[in-house]
Structure 1
Amino acid sequence: MMFGMKRTRRAGVVAAVALGVALVAAGCSSSGGDSGGDAGGDGGDANLTITMLPKNLGNPYFDTSTGGAEEATEEFGGTFEEVGPSEASPTSQVQYIQTAAQQGAGGLIVSANDPEALCDALDEARSAGVKVVTFDSDTNPECRDLFINQATSEGIAKIQVDLIAEQIGDEGQVAVLSASANATNQNAWIATMEELLAADHPNIELVEVAYGDDDDQTSFDKTAALLQTYPELKGIISPTTVGISAAARYLSTSEYKGKVALTGLGTPNQMREYVEDGTVTAFALWNPADLGYLAAWATQALITGEITGEVGDSFEAGKLGSFEVGADGGVLLGDPYVFDADNIGDFDF
């Protein structure tokens, strides 16, 4: 998904070149001006060089959120670069944070693989003047300036529990196929799912939480293992776009198609064929492009001094309108959306 800017991607080991490669802070990957242009307010001379660090590269979900951030950065006249590891592990993002700070980034947008493992690197970056905004998956609040939350943990967990309960008749065994065991957002959602199942769905038994590490093949194999381990399994919840598409791919050509329900969080383009062939009835998500877009505008607002990140601060986010900073520096995008056969053809991301 491109929006008229060149997206620079750097993967693999960067530590060796962090000090040796002198990338000019203002011009890594865009036709923006030397300092990113005048974004309004008091930020005419602001350093609107934005670095985006997803959990891992090559993930369709993050490709989409990066596209949204790229679009926003073009709108406010900044420069943009996407960097990241090939695999989502707790410490794999540290070197990219250090490099962004060393290269003079004005803002860093991060989806954290671990709530604590990145904090030392982020603290160093902030000490160097980098504004840090997390999105999708947060760090500890003291390690960043803002968190752009796709939806509340309660809302995300509830929609997935409601969907699986409806699809299996509110009884039977279910399993969760998650991302990595350290993923902040996944763990918060799963904890709330467990509470909701215990309180409101006593006839549904959660038999296992499995981890596919946001890797397609690992998630595919974990799906097979769950079905072999639990022959009475009625449903799988996968709150990760990589996991749900891998599980759907396995189910679609197996004897379990139409017998084991699958729901969770996915993108329409990933899941369309599985909805159309009857493997999946319904799943949920927010628009990740909007999430990245909002994160970039929030970063711009911090850099220019439009906001400081205090509760009650408000800022404009382009086509999405005005947003307010809530408790612990959180900014909420909105509620999850349910995709099914009736509406999935209306979306392209």
Structure 2
Amino acid sequence: MSRRLFTGALSVATAASLVLSLAACGGTTKNDSSSAGDTQSTAAANPNAASKQGVKMAFLPKQLNNPYSDIEVGGGKAALDELKGEYKLVGPNDASASSQVSYINTLIQQQQDVIGIAANDPNAVCPSLNQARSAGMKVVAFDSDAAKSCRDVFINQASSQGIGEQLAKMANELAGGEGEIAILSATPNATNQNAWIDVMKTELAKPENSKLKLDKVAYGNDDDQKSFQEAQGLLQSFPNLKVIVSPTTVGIAAAARYVSSSSYKGKVAITGLGTPNQMRAFVKDGTVKEFALWNPADIGYLAAYAGVALSSGQITGAQGQKFKAGKLGEYTIGADGEIVLGPPTVFNADNIDKYNF
């Protein structure tokens, strides 16, 4: 896949990333889900079709007013501006499993052309998403997948394998090859978090990581104060803890904030997935040595281009189909409708000032 990365304050901003895929959705009958999937897969694609103007695409992130999600959907708006589409942003203020359902139902009533969703729960959103598809709407999952039978394509940051491997690698490095670690995740049902953690657990079982002990997976629900308290609880419960790995931008920032002003600074390492701008101060003061991420804006940008390509009939979501995504270049759809943005970037004191997002 060829792509040019997002440019912000840099001449070339590298974005990186990682991914997931999920299984069948609950709450729908076999006939309902299969008929929706069959309708999508049998439609013919015309890669030479002109991109429609005025495509109405609504973005539904896990929650509003989340710094990471704000960057993602901002990239979607930028792409729709380029494509002369209509951008809409809706979403809950909490990241609970069923909080997105009412918004999907409203978008159906509003007759949007495309829904872009970062699913809080892969199954809870299924019935409503399939209603949207039955009404002729396209569904683009991004960042956190819905079940495959409920959407047309999934924009993945990178592979789940790649993310989990990177998280395990950083944990090993920061622990010095041995010792106790813990994970501070988002919600218990977050599809992307769980996929990465599963890979990470597999990696921790390998001989090279056999001296690392995973004490606990805690959940901060992508809430700053809850994540702060969970980080505090982990350190109190496990006095020999060496590393907290937080594969969520809210969690890593909250954990770093707690450690930076505590007696644990310099003794317990914090790593995971975060944005350079939110983590810069913690890298500068020595609380965080390294962390990783892709460019969230590029995820939203790619989701918007995929949504318009679907609405224009250029793609249907079938494996092997290609489409162009503006400044990111050409992408090829993989198995199960997955479109992978690219590889992850590791940020540290040597390179963090080269990035502005």
Q: Which has the higher contact order (CA 8 A, sep 6+)?
A: 2
Structure 2 Cα separation of the partners of residues 214 and 308 of structure 1: 33
Which one-letter code corresponds to 1:277 in the other structure? D
Matches within 5 A, 1:148-297: 148-199=155-206, 200-297=208-305
Deviations 1:38-67 (Å, cap 9, x if unpaired)? Answer: xx9545666500100000001110100111
Deviation, structure 1 residue 141: 0.5
Structure 2 Cα separation of the partners of residues 265 and 189 of structure 1: 11
Deviating above 2 A after TM superposition, structure 1's stretches of 4 or more consecutive aligned residues are 40-47
Deviation, structure 1 residue 230: 0.2
The CA RMSD over aligned residues, in Å, is: 1.3
Matches within 5 A, 1:322-333: 322-333=330-341
The runs of 5 or more residues in structure 2 that have no matched partner are 1-7, 9-46
Match of 1:177, SS?
strand
Task: Find out whether 1:131 has 2:138 as its counterpart.
Answer: yes
Match of 1:305 among 304, 313, 318: 313
Structure 1 Cα separation of the partners of residues 56 and 165 of structure 2: 37
Contact 1:47/1:105 (<8 A) preserved: no
TM-score by length of 2: 0.85
Structure 2 Cα separation of the partners of residues 331 and 246 of structure 1: 31
After superposition, the Cα gap between the structure-2 partners of 1:45 and 1:263, relative to the gap in structure 1 and judged at 3 Å, is closer
Deviations 1:63-93 (Å, cap 9, x if unpaired)? Answer: 0011110110000110101110000010000
Deviation, structure 1 residue 151: 0.5
The runs of 5 or more residues in structure 1 that have no matched partner are 2-39
Contact 1:310/1:329 (<8 A) preserved: yes
Which one-letter code corresponds to 2:231 in the other structure? T
TM-score by length of 1: 0.87
In the other structure, the counterpart of 1:82 is 89
Match of 2:243, SS?
strand
Which one-letter code corresponds to 2:135 in the other structure? A
Task: Find out whether 1:48 has 2:55 as its counterpart.
Answer: yes
Identity of aligned residues (%): 55
Structure 1 Cα separation of the partners of residues 354 and 112 of structure 2: 37
Match of 1:159, SS?
helix
Deviations 1:135-189 (Å, cap 9, x if unpaired)? Answer: 1100111110000000000100111111111111010000000000000010111
Match of 2:264, SS?
coil
Contact 2:52/2:308 (<8 A) preserved: no
In the other structure, the counterpart of 1:36 is none
Which one-letter code corresponds to 2:60 in the other structure? L
In the other structure, the counterpart of 1:29 is none
